[in-house]
Amino acid sequence: MEIKDKSLKELEALSQEIRDRIIDVVSRKGGHFSSTLGAVELTLGMHYVFDAYSDPFIFDVSHQCYPHKLLTGRWEEFETIRQFDGLSGFTKPNESDADYFVAGHSSTSISLAVGAAKAIKLKKEKRVPIVMIGDGSMTAGMVYEALNELGDLKFPVVIILNDNEMSIAKPIGAISKYLSKLLAGKYYQGFKGKVDKFIKNNMPEGTTYIAKRMEEALKLITPGILFEEMGIDYIGPIDGHDIQEIIETLEIAKAMGKPVIVHARTVKGKGYKVAEGQHEHWHGVGPFNVEDGAFVKKEAPKAATAVFADALSALACKYDNVVGVTAAMPSGTGINKLMDKFPERFWDVAIAEQHAITSMAAMAKEGFKPFITIYSTFLQRGFDQIIHDVCIMNLPVVFAMDRAGIVGNDGETHQGVFDISFLRFIPNMILFAPRDNKTLEQGLEFAYGLSSPCAIRYPRGAFKELEFTSTPFTLGKAELLKEGSSKKLFIGYGAGVSRAIDTEALHNDDIAILDLRFIKPIDKDILLELSKKYDDWYVFSDSQKQGGVASAILEVLNDENIQNIKVTSFEYDDSFIEHGDTKIVEKNLGLLAEQLVTKVK
């Protein structure tokens, strides 16, 4: 959509059309909501001043990119947002040339912009990377690593700090706003350059110092001193909903020819009164009634996250050395309830997974029992800390991995499929998984008693209720749920146990079912015993096939030189899994029970 020839009034009308479209579609289909509504005018300003098909448009996390999608030829297709075979809820280059990079995790944008700026410099092009980042993402260390290099390189990059929660520092009203724009303006910058050159060539050292101090005194009135000290020019704060001010400011920033941060104040949920402000439940939503904001309620069993939170709360009441941490996902992991109940023992450290892990390693060394509550997909961001700060010293840290397996509409950046593969080869790490609510509760009690690091995984949504009674966990011991009269053996791990049970129920044969429970240490004894009776094994697990559960089983059979067993894995193949409703995605992968039973037969 071409907007550069539109008047201010037309742009304001377009911003309302964009909001209406987002509210209409998301209220029916669900998706990211408050952040994307708050970024409408900023996105319009980006498209007015820059060229999305030439200048790299980089959205941090990119959950606020819905207006960008609507402005780049996806107005009608927006109806399919986050649906299987439809538009992604994040930026995705194979959707549009206007989407520069895949994004889904936070705090990568400025690093991408630095890399793009280096490439543009080498190619002798005139393009300028433009970044939109929220101040929540500014809590991650990677942002400051990128800013540190950018301030040294001085390459042209424009960074919009979309401040929809809190200021970086408290400004002093209109004077701050006026001065920061004045200091960044072309007249001041040109004048400053001439004065600096004259002073350097003609004035004594003391005069140079005095001139520099006068400039710094002016900048101290603005809240951008942090960025200025890093070598990044700063403008703001500006009104992130005033299109005219946004366009004027971005034009100044673009013309500066160096790195600059534009600090814009916005309101989350802008334009939909019910969602305006700091309401965490409006960040990502399911279907809701537009008239009153009431969510469409669905009867659902208790989610594994809620079971975990209640069990951990009971554990914290029982043992006063239990502590916990999350990285910016308190409600998503259920730890918000514990933060309210035990404010001195449970913390949200913001988007800082590496810090979360290392800080808890120190607490474990001091005699506490830390539970790091984290999505499987976000644990990837702290991989080195797991090895270097936890496992080498064999510290009893518990990694409670929520959203293990397919997570649905967030798609490839968020699928929790890799944790078994990247944790299994780390020395001292214990890996186990519950199959239902009862074994999740038992698993946390078991984890508390371990003197080594461990990771426990559980799915998004609810476990299926199973009829099998469960025994308490014993380190490295599996549980045979059912003997069988055929030569087949179904081996389930975690939520995969219920899939094995469902598949067996659809089969004509009487098939044995094993809940593996532990992938590390794996129960070699029971596998060797079962190899004498069953020679056709099938593995069910919500995890990547490479380095996964079947791989571990095959390693045991190889080590013991057992050659009569055929092992078939129903884990995920070597590709990233697309977004969409979980059941539809599983059907597309051929992993529903009715599909699996056909494969077994």
Catalytic residues, by residue number, are: 268, 353, 381
Task: Return d(Cα 364, Cα 361) in angstroms, integer.
Answer: 5
Long-range CB contacts (within 8 A, 24+) of 271-280: 271/16, 271/19, 271/23, 271/37, 271/40, 272/19, 272/23, 272/33, 272/37, 275/33, 275/34, 275/37, 276/34, 278/165, 279/34, 280/331
Cβ contacts of 381 within 8 Å, gap of 6 or more:
105, 353, 354
Contact 473, 523 (CB under 8 A): no
Contact 275, 293 (CB under 8 A): yes
Cβ contacts of 240 within 8 Å, gap of 6 or more:
38, 39, 41, 42, 162, 163, 164, 246, 264, 265, 266
How many CB atoms are located within 10 Å of the residue 471 CB?
10
Q: Give per-residue burial for 375-403: e unless 16+ CB within 10 Å, then b.
A: bbbbbbbbbebbbebbbeeebbbbbbbbb
β-bridge mates for residue 284, sequence order = 32
Contact 468, 513 (CB under 8 A): no
Element (H or E) spanning 305, and its range? Answer: helix 304-318
* Class of residue 310 by CB neighbours under 10 A (exposed 0-12, middle 13-18, buried 19+): middle
Task: Return d(Cα 204, Cα 211) in angstroms, integer.
Answer: 11
Amino acid occupying residue 373: T
Phi-psi region of 57 (alpha: psi -120 to 50; beta: other; left: phi over 0): beta
Task: Return d(Cα 588, Cα 152) in angstroms, integer.
Answer: 48
3-state SS track over 576-592: CCCCCCHHHHHHHCCCC
Task: Return d(Cα 493, Cα 517) in angstroms, integer.
Answer: 6
DSSP state at residue 80: G
- Strand ranges across the sheet with 454-457: 346-348, 322-326, 369-375, 398-402, 454-457, 430-432, 518-520
Cβ contacts of 524 within 8 Å, gap of 6 or more:
556, 560
β-bridge mates for residue 347, sequence order = 325
Element (H or E) spanning 377, and its range? Answer: helix 376-379
Amino acid occupying residue 334: G
DSSP state at residue 327: S
